[in-house]
Amino acid sequence: MSLISYSYFMPTRVECGNGISGKIGEMIIELGATRVLIVTDKGVRAANLLEGIEKSLLSVNLDYDIFDEVEPNPSVETIHKGTQYLSLHNSDAVLAVGGGSSIDAAKGIAVMATNSGNILDYEGVEKISIPPLPIIAVPTTAGTGSEATNATVVTNKEKSFKFGVISSYLFPSLAILDPALTLQLPQGLTAAPGMDALTHAIESYTSKAANPVSQALAIQAIKMIGENLTKAYFVGTDIEARENMLVASMIAGAAFAQSRLGNVHAISHTLGGVFNIPHGIANAALLPFIMKFNLRACPDKYKDIALALGNNVAGLSTMQAAEKAIDTVIEMNQSMNIPLNIKEFGVSLEYVPKLVEDAMRSGNVFVNPRLTNAEDIQLIIERAYYGTLKESETSSPKTFLDSKVPSHLKQRIEI
């Protein structure tokens, strides 16, 4: 890597261990909280995953209330409703228990508890002026890494658009990694979040904004996911694999908090906004197609990824070794029954002009390793729709979208 200027900032305290969520009350008391709002979803609550946490809060006489109305791809309306609920109960800290949606919602609620206006007002980078309430994150899936990031993603239902709020204030004060909370996960909620974490690590490693610290974190996350994801998926009760996946997810999050991501997330966010596709499964399905698109821009890094995923690349050229990384991702998807196209999720090519325009709004496009314009995004979506990785093939008639892509988006962009 050439000499670059960079900074690294990661203020989140991370506590990891089997059963450690049973001590969360003591740790939250140390933050000075007196009343906690637990932000979660009905599935987590129905699975009794809050039981040990509630006992821990009660053991230290810490009052709490529960807001369990978080949906996949949490909306502006949910943030507003949760903020009202928090205000009603005078909570002074927010405890997220669940997957990435619960953690993202908790971040939004914590921000709006101290800042004026609407969460929509804070789309973009470093627009939050007042620190939010303390955020404590307890992931129950190994995927988003939101417990270690400076971002939250919220859905604007009115415009069918997912937007990001990025601020150094959004790093949680405390992250609790307890593999015991993930043992009940069905296979689908192991596979999709796990591939989400792998996507984070791969996009962070290859990002134009990567630095030596973020790349060290990202490549370690890739290695740990390659060694543990399918084991967690097929065995389920392997506590070591579950813990390793939680750690890998967290450090992948810590990596991309420094480097941003790439085209997978630029496109998957718009798929989530328009079709309400769960984020992890959208990333998993898109990842091979964006890797193929990016291959010639960073073959050396893809060779590193192939090695981290356990491939023997002895005797192969750099490009052949790099191709192994893509092949391995495809094999992982196939082994866990993740579709190799996005058509199966209800995506319609009728919406591609909107998908293209919304994807090009994402700052992740700017740090994608290969120069990307709107026509590139169009072609990637078409290939992902039909499930073809061959660059020589056109997935659908070229005329389908060419005349519909806004002219102001056709110019190539670079940073």
Whether the CB-CB separation of 38 and 95 falls below 8 Å is answered with yes
Residue count of the chain: 415
Q: Read out DSSP for 306-331?
A: HHHTT---TT--HHHHHHHHHHHHHH
Q: What is the pLDDT of residue 409?
A: 34
Residue 12, C-beta contacts closer than 8 angstroms, at least 6 positions apart:
147, 148, 171, 172, 173, 174, 175, 254
Q: What is the pLDDT of residue 391?
A: 58
52 touches 184 (CB < 8 A): no
For residue 162 the two structure tokens come to 């997912």
Q: Give, to the nearest 10 degrees, the angle between helix 299-308 and helix 188-206.
A: 140
Tokens of 186: 């069905």
In DSSP notation, 28-49 reads HHHTT-SEEEEE--HHHHHTTT
- What domains sit in the chain, N to C, each tagged with a CATH number? 13-182 (3.40.50.1970), 188-409 (1.20.1090.10)
CA distance 118 to 79: 9
Q: What is the pLDDT along the chain (415 residues), one digit of tens a residue?
A: 445 688 888 899 999 999 999 999 999 999 999 999 999 999 999 999 999 999 999 999 999 999 999 998 899 999 999 999 999 999 999 999 999 999 999 999 999 999 999 999 999 999 999 999 999 999 999 999 999 999 999 999 888 888 889 999 999 999 999 999 999 899 999 999 999 999 999 999 999 999 999 999 999 999 999 999 999 999 999 999 999 999 999 999 999 999 999 999 999 989 988 898 888 999 999 999 999 999 999 999 999 999 999 999 999 999 999 999 999 999 999 999 999 899 999 999 999 999 999 999 888 999 999 999 999 999 999 999 998 876 544 444 333 333 343 443 333 222 2
Distance (Å) of CA 300 to CA 52, 275, 305: 46, 35, 9
**Phi, psi for 386 (deg, rounded to 5):** -90, -15
pLDDT at position 39 is 98
Q: How high is the pLDDT of residue 404?
A: 40
Q: What string of DSSP letters covers 113-156? A: TTS-S-GGGG-EES---S--S-EEEEESSSS--GGG-SEEEEEE
Cα distances from 51 to residues 98, 137, 266, 272, in angstroms, run 13, 16, 37, 31
What is residue 393's predicted lDDT score, i.e. its pLDDT? 44
**Nearest by Cα to 134 from 100, 157, 159, 111:** 111
DSSP string, 75-107: BHHHHHHHHHHHHHHT--EEEEEESHHHHHHHH
Distance of CA 355 to the CA centre of its chain: 19
The C-alpha atoms of residue 69 and residue 129 are separated, in whole angstroms, by 27
Helix-, strand-, coil-residue percentages of the chain, each rounded to 5? 55, 10, 35
pTM of the predicted structure, to 2 decimals = 0.90
Separation of alpha carbons 234 and 69, rounded Å = 31
